Amino acid sequence: MTSTPAAHDPNKMAVLRRTQAVFSVLLVLFVSPLPCHNVPAYQKPVMVQQTGKVLPKPQMLTVSAEAYTLAMSGFKFTYGSSSQMCDIVDQAFRRYYDLIFVVDGVKKAPVVSKDMSELTELQIMVKEPCTGVYPSLESSENYTLTVAAPMGTLVADSAWGVLRGLETFSQLVYRTDDGMIIINKTTVDDFPRFAHRGILLDTSRHFIPIKYIKQNLDAMAYNKFNVFHWHIVDDPSFPYQSVAFPDLSAKGAFNPYTHLYTQEDVKDVIEYSRLRGIRVVPEFDTPGHTASWGAGLPGFLTPCYDGSAPNGKYYAANPMLNTTYDYMTKLLQEIKDVFPDKYVHLGGDEVSFNCWKSNPDITKFMEKMGFGTDYSKLEEYYIKNILDITTSVGRDYIVWQEVLDNGVQVHKPRKTW
C-alpha cells in the first residue's frame, strides 16, 4: 500500500519543525536597578537550520558520507508485504511526506541531481496489529531504520516504534542551499531510555485553546515525548465539561461558553495524541487545589470557621462526609470512561490544614477516628479512600511525591515538582 500525500494539511508548524527549534525556551528575568540605557536590546533567539541531525540522539547511529537525493514526485512511503496496516501509520505517512517536502506551507519540488543516487521509497514493517490501539506505559517504541538507495527500510514491533522511526527519518533529511533534498546513507537502532517522557500543560490557570494544545502535541512528537500530562483543572478554574456534574464547568470555568473543554474537545485531543503515539494522562487534584469545584458541587468543600462561626470561606474537599466520596466515585468512573489511559493523576499536593483545623465538625471527626491533632492522618484517610475508589473503577493512579512525604503508603508511580 502506498501513501496518498494530498490529504494532509501542510501548514502545521512547518517553519518551527524544519528549523529543529529547541522544544522548550527558558526565559530568566532579572529584576535590576540598573538604568534603562544599560539594558541590552532584546534579541530574538537564533534559529539554526540543522543538516541531518537527530534529536534526541539515537542509541546507535551510523551515518555515511554517501548521500542520496529525494524527489517529491518519485518518493513514497510503503508497507512491506507482511506488515500490519492501520490508520496510525497511514496518517503518519501523510504528515511526514509534508514535513519533508513542504517549505513555508507550500509544497516545493526539490532540485534533483543526476549525479547522485535517488532514494525513492521507505518501506515500513510493523510486526504487531495496530488498528484501534492506544499507547501505554508498556508500549514498545523500538525501531531499526536503514537508509540505502533506492529503498530504505523501517522495522518496528509496534506502530509507536514506526512513529519514532519516521521522526528520525524526517530529521535526517535536509534541504541544501541550492534546493536539493538530501539524506545520507544511515543505519539507526533506537529505543527510548525512559518509558515515560512527559510534558505537563496547566489549562486551569491559563485556558489553552485546542488549537494550541495540538501545537504542543506536535512539538512533543517532534521531540519523541510520549505523555501529555493534562493538568486540566485546579483552583482557578474547572474547564472540563463533566457529564455527571455539568455544574462544575458551568459555575467553575473562567467562562462556561468560551473557556470550556467539551466531551468532543477531549476526544479530539485524545485522538490527535494517539495518532502521534502520545498518552493523555488527566490530573484531577484533590483534596486541595479544588476551589473551582465548590460552586458546582455543594457540600464538597470544607467550611472554614473563625471561632465558633463559619467565615464564609471554603477550602479543600471535606474528608469526613460520605457524599464527598460519592462525588469522587461518580467523577472517577466518568474519567475512566472518557480517558482511555490506564492511569489517572490524583494530585494530593499542597494541602493546607488551617481550614480543617478551624472546623468544629472536623475536630469531632478527628476525635472519633483516633487521629488526635495529627491532621496528616486525616489527609491520609482521604487519600487512601480516593486511591481505593480509583482502583475500584478499574484505573491505576499517579500522585505527587508530597503524598508519600506525608506518610501515605503508595506503591504506584509518583511525580515530583
Give the span between the Cα atoms of 179 and 175, in whole angstroms: 6
Question: How many CB atoms within 10 Å of residue 87?
Answer: 14
2 and 78 Cβ atoms separated by less than 8 Å:
yes
Residue 64 and residue 184 in contact, taking contact as beta carbons nearer than 8 Å? yes
Catalytic residues: 350
Strand partners, 183: 68
CB 138 within 8 A of CB 20: no
- Among the listed residues 334, 56, 24, 368, the one whose alpha carbon sits nearest the alpha carbon of residue 199: 24
Crossing angle for the helix pair 375-392 and 322-338, nearest 10 degrees?
Answer: 40
Cα(383)–Cα(319) distance, integer angstroms:
9
Element (DSSP H or E) covering residue 62: strand 60-69
Task: Give the rounded distance of the alpha carbon of 213 from its chain centre.
Answer: 9
Give whole-number Cα distances, 370 to 353, 378, 381, in Å.
17, 10, 12
Distance CA 371, CA 341 (A): 36
| C-alpha cell recorded at residue 6 | 494530498
